[in-house]
Structure 1
């Protein structure tokens, strides 16, 4: 072969393989070989890295147009050295360029192992990155429709999970031997007692911040003493239960989804059904019942921590002593104020538990699915908690409670 026989020659590599204990690769080439073509050299990344970015095999395509015959174009691969996936893509592009002339192309004398790799890569050679999505009215309507359908599915799933839980609890009341007391106590410990430190810390800080900001604003009106009323009512009616429920949704709800989802991935849930155990009785009811009991207790602790933080902050910032704070709170806070926050807690806990368990049972066999479901459980639980809080606020205002 002479230099004029070369229709394409790959760039020389700038990374000698000898430095890594191997021979330097030979430049990849496409040569004229009688009435056909032949490929030589090492078709690996250093040797073919420009052919896929530049003009490709334009000279080979021109040669195919000029030598148009009825016989197929044979590409002899007996001189092919090393071959990697990028080299296979280059060979597939060469075959495509030659086939554009209307003639069939045959790659011959390719060893079995290299042909297996080449066939796998060639099947995916035309797979390209999808075009960037463009905004349009049809896409917006379709996305809105998918969102509505997904929301409806979630609502049905939560209602279905709630129905299963209520059915299981009803059967337990009829047959108390079904009750798994040890599992209930374990979940109560995980949901309530182990969450006390973080609840105390966060609520103490939030109570202090609310008290300081309220006192700062009311100071301009000479009504700084009414900060006690504001902090007490806000904490007992709204902030204590709402912040506690949000923290439980992020802490306990995500744990429920992860635990049940991991059991789904390991097929432990299916194994329970095989041996005659109901996963709802074993996994769901103890968790949800533990959460329903835990959240009101955490709300009481959160209220006390937030009020303590507000009291100490006002003592240091506004000079309102703890005695005055307690006296003002005693005059402004009614029993109804305390009960409003406590009534919300079991309903919020029920929503968090149902959503978390539902998402756990939706986990498929991949870790990606587990992460996606845990994230969805936290987001949906927080959204449900806020919506429930708004519904209760409207209801209590309408009945003057």
Structure 2
């Protein structure tokens, strides 16, 4: 019997709604229409499903709705003849019978915005706490490795130095060269109004050596290598390779994080110095071709106006920036969960947070070194 039938019967003082056949989505249309025409008459009602061959979610909902609506109308309705699976399905359908708002209640825009700000603040605090914990774990592993130098993974460190440093020489050099030209050109335009074009050399030398060289290099490394760290470790998290390392007794911090952190911290001073030199070359080339300042004059003037402290400031900031970029990228990679979409989100977060931290720390360094009198 494949169709679904409904019989309205009487058993003494009890009303019986007897179903036969299959209470499935494809079979209940006619029965559902008949049920809409039936109304409770106050007598106790029994829903007999003894002769029902199969019940799916639609059929279970139909039975549950009869029990619910008729009981509310004063006719106590019960189910008879259902096996354990059918009763469980009806129970699960009933457990999900909750009112759902098609449109949520409108809230005050100010309150809604305030809630969003609060959520962002909580997220920032959680992220900062997790980052500091990850940084502390990295430092702990580094100190432990210092006590046992044989634990340093030199091939991995050298490989990461090649990826972060050598492979980025082209893009960092081109960017720095163009930045030097732009600084010289814009400075010359303003200084020409006062007949002081020669001070373009001072502007290029000091701004590039002290700030722009290391800052632009850090931003480039954050976008290039920080994102790569997050994506690589995030993909390993999805593939459960990180969990496999822990299972066999390897520390993911020692194997994955420490080589990247050390490599980035070591190559950043070299990249910053390289970027500063090429920016000065770009500024000197522009000064020679557009301002008629001989190259030998430009070089001599650079030596006179750029104090050695500017170079030391850049070389002090560079490894700290590299440390922050690498730790941020690895931390965000370790936070990947769920699916590939999380890899993209964490990679983006790694770049944004790295650049933000670099700029904040650069501002701190500027105030700190000024207070020391390194102007």
TM-score range, shorter chain: 0.7 to 0.9
Q: C-alpha separation between the residues in 2 aligned to 1:216 and 1:72?
A: 94
* Secondary structure at the counterpart of residue 358 of structure 1: helix
Alignment partner of 1:165 is 2:138: yes
Q: Which structure 1 segments of 5+ residues have no match? A: 1-33, 35-42, 45-59, 74-87, 105-119
Q: C-alpha separation between the residues in 2 aligned to 1:209 and 1:200?
A: 14
Number of residue-to-residue matches in the alignment: 356
Identify the residue that residue 201 of structure 1 maps to in structure 2.
174
Q: Which structure 2 segments of 5+ residues have no match? A: 1-7, 9-24, 27-34, 48-57, 77-91
CA RMSD after TM alignment: 4.4
State the Cα distance separating 1:156 from its structure 2 match: 1.9
Identify the residue that residue 22 of structure 1 maps to in structure 2.
none
Alignment partner of 1:337 is 2:305: no
Which segment is superposed worse, 307-316 or 376-385? 307-316
1:42-121 mapped onto 2 (5 Å cutoff): none
The correspondence for 2:216, drawn from 224, 236, 243, is: 243
1:1-400 mapped onto 2 (5 Å cutoff): 131=104, 134=107, 136-400=109-373
Deviations 1:87-114 (A, max 9, x none): x9xxx9xx99xx999899xxxxxxxxxx
* Change in CA separation of 1:294 and 1:133 when aligned onto 2, cut-off 3 Å: farther
State the Cα distance separating 1:199 from its structure 2 match: 0.3
* Change in CA separation of 1:132 and 1:355 when aligned onto 2, cut-off 3 Å: farther
TM-score for both structures, normalised by structure 2: 0.75
Q: C-alpha separation between the residues in 2 aligned to 1:133 and 1:196?
A: 54
Contact 1:187 1:290 in 2 (8 A): yes
State the Cα distance separating 1:135 from its structure 2 match: 5.0
State the Cα distance separating 1:155 from its structure 2 match: 2.0
* Change in CA separation of 1:366 and 1:299 when aligned onto 2, cut-off 3 Å: same
State the Cα distance separating 1:398 from its structure 2 match: 1.0
Contact 1:165 1:280 in 2 (8 A): yes
State the Cα distance separating 1:141 from its structure 2 match: 3.2
* Change in CA separation of 1:367 and 1:225 when aligned onto 2, cut-off 3 Å: same
Which segment is superposed worse, 185-194 or 368-377? 368-377
Contact 1:184 1:287 in 2 (8 A): yes
